[in-house]
Amino acid sequence: MTEQQRLVTWQSPSLYTDQLHTLSGAEYVAAVRRGDIPMSPMLKLLDIHGQESATGLAVFTVVPQEFHLNPMGMAHGGLACALLDTAMAVSVISTLPRGVGYVTLEIKVNFIKPMTMDKGELRAEGHALHVGSRTATAEGKILDAAGALYAHGTTTLLLMRPA
């Protein structure tokens, strides 16, 4: 049996979490996209990449790789969950005013077909549905280049507004 190894480097989230409260959600997302604020260590670990963002929309991609696989030879369901959670949350973040934070309250994912290494780049599209004073909801889907659906889901976020 050959053991594999993967090296992941990241910057500490403590370097940028305070900045989240000084920027609007759209400003924060733009700063991460420009590289002014480092991306989440979790995204680096899973090799998930931000591709597109606009108010109420976020697109992230991943190419399933060997380190994503479960013993059955397909990407672990946690990869789809992380990809959808990220796209859906960022779609909401892009709408938030300065100083408003969030935490995921609930996520529901429907798995449609397995994400395997031969599928190439998979794209998660998140769309904000409702942004209220205390909660927000969003939906998302994971598609391949041909438009085939791999998973879809919804989320509810708790919004944390300044006192």
- 13-70 pLDDT tens trace: 887 777 777 899 999 999 999 988 888 999 999 999 999 999 999 999 999 999 999 9
Rounded to whole angstroms, how far apart are CA atoms 57 and 129? Answer: 10
Q: What is the CATH number of the domain that holds 43?
A: 3.10.129.10
**Four-CA torsion 24, 27, 33, 35, nearest 10 degrees:** -100
| pTM of the predicted model as reported, rounded to 2 decimal places | 0.94
pLDDT at 13: 83
151 CA to centre of own chain: 14
Of 60, 76, 45, 51, nearest in space to 141 by CA: 60
Does 3 map to a domain?
A: no
Does 6 map to a domain?
A: no
Does 36 map to a domain?
A: yes
Does 68 map to a domain?
A: yes
Does 57 map to a domain?
A: yes
Q: Give the count of beta carbons closer than 10 Å to the beta carbon of residue 8.
A: 10
- Give residue 145's domain range: 13-160
